[in-house]
Amino acid sequence: MKLEDLVQVSEIEWEIPRHFRADMRVPVRLFATREQLLQIVNDRSLEQAVNAATLPGLVGHVIVMPDMHQGYGFPIGGIAATEYPTGVISPGAIGYDINCGVRLLASTLEFQSVKDDLDTLATLLNNYCPSGVGKAGAMKINLRELDRLLEGGSHWAQKKGFATDADLARTEETGRLKDADPSKVSDRAKKRGQDQVGSLGAGNHFIEVEVVDQVFDQKAVQVMGLHQGCLTLQIHCGSRGLGHQVCTDYVQRFQASVKKYGINLPDRELVCAPMDTQEGKDYLGAMRAAANFAFANRQILAHSARRAFEEAFRGKSSAHLYQVYDITHNMGKIETHEVDGKEIMVCVHRKGATRAFGPGSHELPSEYREIGQPVIIPGSMGTASWVLVGTEESMTRAFGSSCHGAGRMMSRSKAKHEVRGDQLRKDLEAKGIKIRAGSLPGLAEEAPQAYKDVDMVVETVVKAGIAKKVARLKPVVVIKG
């Protein structure tokens, strides 16, 4: 696709009209500057957004955020809503890492008072939070216990002593999706996830210690318990091998489903099934179970991170990490939204997009209902991350969604070819960032130059009115697989 194919709606809003291609069921709406679009047209993500607009049962628009880039079938940074229960659900529109998400915790520790202890903290975090490809987690459980975890998510973790009431209250869906069905998760998926509970994984997953660098909304930071100069910790990971296998299993199964239900698609990677069919119900049950695995996984990692903080800063009561929020950015959720002036139930597919509900939503903890939902936007390694809040406009224009990060601009293979991991480590450490990484090639894959400018991505969604700035975070410790 070319930039000329898009209709400009405003400085940061564009549309691919429904008549662009005969098989489109809804238009595509993009939030991006012209400069960001010039980066986007270098891959197939716009074509993927048009392909996504052909899914049966779609309502409103297919929406794409400024961090968009090419994914499996469906663009990363994309949102699509299908009417429930007759519309379809598509595993490719949710992603392989089901419930990949971000958890933000904070302390009252002042960076200046503990900066000399950060090297010790980095080592402890690296020791207590296993990371790397195929790495085993902090605990091993049998298959019967795994089924309980798949049903209970963070609630299972609380029963095991890894979570508090406050942790659950400040997690999307309290850390447990209802109607999860472990029986719809294959034995292979369970075996892949069985020993990975409490592990970070590799790729773009990380644990990062940050300092609140700038404050933009004093009221919101007070509600969240943040203040300028305090230490925070961010965990970015998902459902590990279990979630990947669930997606693999159902993408394969749905190849037959599209033929069975007479669904014609321009890309076989978008295979789907109506939600009111057995296939659709089975995937929903399995996806929710994988999502619960991810919630429990991040909860146990948070418990391990708390242990590291308390040991590194022994004797300081301010070392306790309390939860700000835990939010997913790869999920299919049944929600009620207003479409064409009418409230309807839909399945919102968010792939590389964060839920961003506005003030007043009963989905939020009581303390956040006045300010809106916290939205956590990690940057690329060594650059800033952001805390935002959702807005009422997000509800009406983007199915209560926002961006999820910086967004890749360079493939992993190209990054490894162009960036030397040892030099990158030196560059980051020269900026005062403590690095613990499983491999130098893995470090190179996630180099800052492989990603878009997260500050500009955030600026775009703020200009669009779908999120508001709360605080900017600067990294001081990075743990990667």
Please name the residue that has the structure tokens 């040892």. 422
* Residue 427 is assigned to a structural domain of this protein: no
Residue 186 lies in a domain: yes
Q: Phi and psi of 227, rounded to 5°?
A: -155, 155
Tokens linked to 285: 């049950």
Confidence at residue 347, expressed as pLDDT on a 0 to 100 scale: 98
pLDDT 10s digits, 367-408: 999 999 999 999 988 899 999 999 999 999 999 999 999 998
Residues of the chain with pLDDT under 50: none
Which CATH number belongs to the domain containing residue 159 in this structure? 3.90.1860.10
The phi-psi region of residue 77 (left if phi > 0; otherwise alpha if psi is between -120 and 50; otherwise beta) is left
pLDDT for residue 409 = 87
Look at residue 159 and tell me if it is in a domain.
yes
Question: What would the pLDDT profile of 316-354 be if each residue is shown by its tens digit?
Answer: 878 899 999 999 999 999 999 999 999 999 999 999 999
Statement: the pTM of the whole predicted model exceeds 0.95: yes
Q: What CA–CA distance (Å, rounded) separates 243 from 260?
A: 25
CA 20 vs. chain centroid, Å, equals: 30
Instruction: Please report the pLDDT score of residue 317 as a whole number.
Output: 78
3-state class (DSSP) for residue 181: coil
CA distance 460 to 81: 22
Q: Which amino acid is at 7?
A: V
Q: What per-residue confidence (pLDDT) applies to 139?
A: 83
Q: Which residues contact 416 (CB under 8 A, 6 or more apart)?
A: 441, 444, 445
Dihedral (Cα; 95, 99, 101, 105), 10-degree rounding: -170
Q: Which amino acid is at 41?
A: V
Q: Could you tell me if 475 and 431 are in contact, meaning their C-beta atoms sit under 8 angstroms apart?
A: no
Q: How many domains does the chain have?
A: 1
Count of alpha carbons within 13 angstroms of residue 247, beta-carbon side: 25
**What is the tens place of the pLDDT at every residue in 440-452?**
888 898 888 989 9
Residue 380's domain comprises 3-409+451-480
Domain presence at residue 218:
yes
**Does the residue 356 lie in any domain?**
yes
Distance (Å, whole) CA 199 – CA 207: 11
Handedness of CA 233, 236, 241, 247 (dihedral sign): positive
Planar angle of CA 82, 59, 467, nearest 5 degrees: 95
- Residue-by-residue DSSP string for 11-38: TTEEEE-GGGSTT-SS-EEEE--HHHHH
Burial class (CB in 10 A: 0-12, 13-18, 19+), 424: buried
The whole-angstrom separation of Cα 79 and Cα 77 is: 7
Confirm whether 314 is domain-assigned: yes
User: What are the tens digits of pLDDT across the range 45-62?
Assistant: 999 999 999 999 999 999
The pLDDT assigned to 135 comes to 66
Q: What is the pLDDT of residue 297?
A: 97
User: Which residues are known to be catalytic?
Assistant: 404
Residue 471 falls inside a structural domain? yes
* Rounded Cα–Cα distance for residues 233 and 240 (Å): 20
Q: Is residue 414 part of a domain?
A: no
Q: How far apart are CA 141 and CA 20, in angstroms?
A: 52
Q: What pLDDT is recorded for position 435?
A: 94
| H-assigned helices in 115-200 | 118-128, 143-152, 154-159, 165-169, 187-193
SS3 of 388-410: EEECHHHHHHCCCEECCCCCECC
